[in-house]
Amino acid sequence: MAFKYNSGQLIYFRESHGRKFFRRTQDYLSGVTVARQSINESLIDFVREIDGNIVEIGGSQNLEEYMKSGKYVLLDLINTESNDVTANAEKLPFASNSMSGFVCISVLEHTPNPQKVINEIWRCLRPGGKAFISVPWMFEAHMEPYDFFRFSPFLMKKWLSDFDLVDIQLVNGYLGLLAHYLQKKPLTRFTIGLWSFWLDQLAPNKAAWTTQINIWVSKEKDLLNEASDDDSGDWIQHLRCPSCVILKGGELFEKGSCKICKDCGSRYPVINHKKIVFATGDLNNHDQ
What is the C-alpha to C-alpha distance for residues 106 and 91, in angstroms, rounded to an integer? 18
How far is residue 29 CA from its own chain's centroid? 25
Output the CA–CA distances (angstroms, integers) from residue 263 to 52, 88, 180, 228, 267, in the order listed: 28, 19, 50, 20, 11
Compare residues 63 and 279 and give the one whose CB is closer to Zn ion.
279
Q: How far is the CB of 249 from Zn ion (least distance, A)?
A: 7
Q: How far is the CB of 265 from Zn ion (least distance, A)?
A: 7
What is the C-alpha to C-alpha distance for residues 125 and 218, in angstroms, rounded to an integer? 9
With residue 105 as reference, give the H or E element that holds it.
strand 99-105
With residue 253 as reference, give the H or E element that holds it.
strand 252-255
Compare residues 43 and 244 and give the one whose CB is closer to Zn ion.
244
Q: Is the dihedral of CA 75, 78, 79, 81 positive or negative?
A: negative
Q: How far is the CB of 260 from Zn ion (least distance, A)?
A: 9
Q: How far is the CB of 6 from Zn ion (least distance, A)?
A: 42
Q: How far is the CB of 263 from Zn ion (least distance, A)?
A: 5
Compare residues 37 and 243 and give the one whose CB is closer to Zn ion.
243
* Contact (Cβ atoms closer than 8 angstroms) between residue 249 and residue 262: yes
Per CB under 5 A, residues contacting Zn ion are 241, 243-244, 250, 261, 263-264, 266
Q: How far is the CB of 261 from Zn ion (least distance, A)?
A: 3
Compare residues 64 and 263 and give the one whose CB is closer to Zn ion.
263
Compare residues 207 and 264 and give the one whose CB is closer to Zn ion.
264
Compare residues 155 and 270 and give the one whose CB is closer to Zn ion.
270
Q: Are strands 54-57 and 72-76 parallel, antiparallel or unpaired?
A: parallel
Which residues, 6 or more positions from 40, have their beta carbon under 8 angstroms from its beta carbon? 7, 8, 9, 10, 11, 27, 32
Q: How far is the CB of 202 from Zn ion (least distance, A)?
A: 55
Q: How far is the CB of 286 from Zn ion (least distance, A)?
A: 13
What is the C-alpha to C-alpha distance for residues 234 and 205, in angstroms, rounded to an integer? 41
Compare residues 75 and 261 and give the one whose CB is closer to Zn ion.
261
* Contact (Cβ atoms closer than 8 angstroms) between residue 73 and residue 100: no
What is the C-alpha to C-alpha distance for residues 103 and 235, in angstroms, rounded to an integer? 16
Compare residues 206 and 267 and give the one whose CB is closer to Zn ion.
267
What is the C-alpha to C-alpha distance for residues 196 and 175, in angstroms, rounded to an integer? 5
